[in-house]
Structure 1
Amino acid sequence: MTNPIHGPDYSDLSTTAVTYCWVSRHQGQRPGSQDVVTRELAAALAEYATQQNTRLVGNMNMDFPEYRALPQDVRRALLRMMWRQERWWRFGGLVLVRAWQSTAPVTVADA
């Protein structure tokens, strides 16, 4: 299960898709940028669900998680993603955005 207030349950992600992105504070303040980030996160969740042969159910939830509160393996993956995505001098100006949504197996009716 997911808790929209506290984020997804990292101990059991078997029925939850989770994705992240680093956004510059400056970019996040531009008009319309929130919609762009939301669409990108929704597309990433849909792609993950397709790769896992599942479908997304319910509503997508988003937040700005505290990096240090995330599990260690997630923090490592996020650092690698940031290093590939951004130049080192921009790290201080980035905000982490997380999105998650429940998943369910694909049924015959979905196919």
Structure 2
Amino acid sequence: VSIATFGIRAGMPVGLAVTLRGIRMYDFLDKLFSIVLPRLRDFRGVSRKSFDKYGNYTLGFSEHTVFPEVDVTKATAPKGLAITITTNAGSPEKGLRLLELLGIPFEKEG
């Protein structure tokens, strides 16, 4: 099977980008902050240094299987996952405060 328009064939690795808004976004962030992150081995909070100059935050996972919906018995190989939380904060300081209010578990300062 191939999709000539995109220049891909069966078996070729592909990437995917998804934008979530509204209730789906908030549900995803709630699950990420309250279920996925705390279940990571040796988790002590996410870095406070992953903001860009506009207050957007990016974090990455080496395996997509950290999400409870993923059936690890059907996963052929671990796939990396990058999550960018785009805000209208305008600065890293305001972005940090916004995400703190949303409940992201940041690492302790110090």
Q: Does TM, normalized by the shorter one, top 0.5?
A: no
Quick check: which one's strand share is greater? 1
Q: Which has the higher contact order (CA 8 A, sep 6+)?
A: 1
Quick check: which one's helix share is greater? 1
Q: Normalising to structure 2: TM-score of the pair?
A: 0.28
- Which is greater in Rg? 2
